[in-house]
Amino acid sequence: MTSELGTGTDLLDRVRRRTRDAGYGSAEPVVVGLERHGTAPIYVASGSTRTGSRLDGDTVIYTASLAKQVTAVLAALLVREGRLDLEAPLVRWLPELPVWAGEVRLRHLLSHTSGLPEGATFGELERSGRDRTTAVVVEALARCERPASAPGSGHRYSNAGYVCLGLVLERVTSRGLAALAEERLLGPLRMGASRFWSGPEPHPPRAAPLDDAFPAPLSLGDGGLWSSAADLLRWNRALADDALGVTDLVQTPGRLDDGTLLDYAWGVGVRAHAGAAVFRHGGRWAGLCAQLVRVPGHGSLVVLALDDDEDRASSLADALLEEVLR
């Protein structure tokens, strides 16, 4: 492995070994970041981007569904300020949607219990020659005659739900989601490598490009966030320290309308390991696998791999979790 930064030789050696044991060879493109509570972060990186640049902790990479927790934290800030009512019906802010959207509450979007149809799948859009943008997703939803299921009745992961949530935030604040995130989160948290990107180019300047045949979607809210391992550890640190004043809120698990507790909070999964609470989410796109894990009181980790082996990235995150808790 190359591009190894940080302190703690023993920990660095173990992170390097666990990365190798997970199946990442010395030339495979992967960046690992790990930070224990109160210590400097450690990075282990190898391989190159498609343009030949060496990967390191500052390489800007597409993060796919890791964006959902950023969207959710923006919503939490507006809830705290009394500007966003989670019991408001979706149709209040998106009147272009059909009448069934009147039964969907904003809290349903956060916990993936909205029952929204996907609208336009990635495959459908690819076959039609259209990019997946926020506008295209909402247009597709507007043509759906009925929801996929009754809102609040079950947990069904929904990218379209977070696209809608991102658009709601824009309409509440009269600000684009990229500008809103920069002003309220990315700038104050000094996440200088991070930004929401809606095109028209397939990736931001100086970012690691994906396969030209499978460019990242341009919809915002469900995805659209480009970031680095270093910035994502800063993000986890800010939530662990409650720097934004909403950590308790966004770590609260969702519920179905009948009160059934879910293992999903605000844009992040809720787990437990060795007696510790674990907040975790993955991201997946063609040529990209991401894992971001936060363990309050212990530390956090990130895996950004430029390949399609989701199981391998998840297994590496499992192994690194043991180092965080060690």
Q: Domain coordinates of the chain in residue numbers?
A: 2-325
**Is residue 251 within 8 Å of residue 149, measured between CB atoms?**
no
Alpha-carbon distance of 227 to 145, in angstroms, equals 37
pTM (predicted TM-score)? 0.94
Q: What is the pLDDT of residue 196?
A: 98
Q: What is the pLDDT of residue 76?
A: 98
Per-residue confidence in pLDDT tens, the chain, 326 aa? 444 444 467 999 999 999 999 999 999 999 999 999 889 999 999 999 999 999 999 999 999 999 999 999 999 999 999 999 999 999 999 999 999 999 999 999 999 999 998 776 667 776 666 788 999 999 999 999 999 999 999 999 999 999 999 999 999 999 999 999 999 999 999 999 999 999 999 999 999 999 988 999 999 999 999 999 999 999 999 999 999 999 999 999 999 999 999 999 999 999 999 999 999 999 999 999 999 999 999 999 999 999 999 999 999 999 999 999 99
For residue 45, what are the β-bridge partners?
Answer: 2, 31
Among 245, 244, 301, 310, CA closest to 273: 301
Give the fold, CATH level 3, of 2-325. Beta-lactamase (3.40.710)
Q: What is the pLDDT of residue 285?
A: 96
Q: What is the pLDDT of residue 8?
A: 63
Alpha-carbon distance of 265 to 271, in angstroms, equals 10
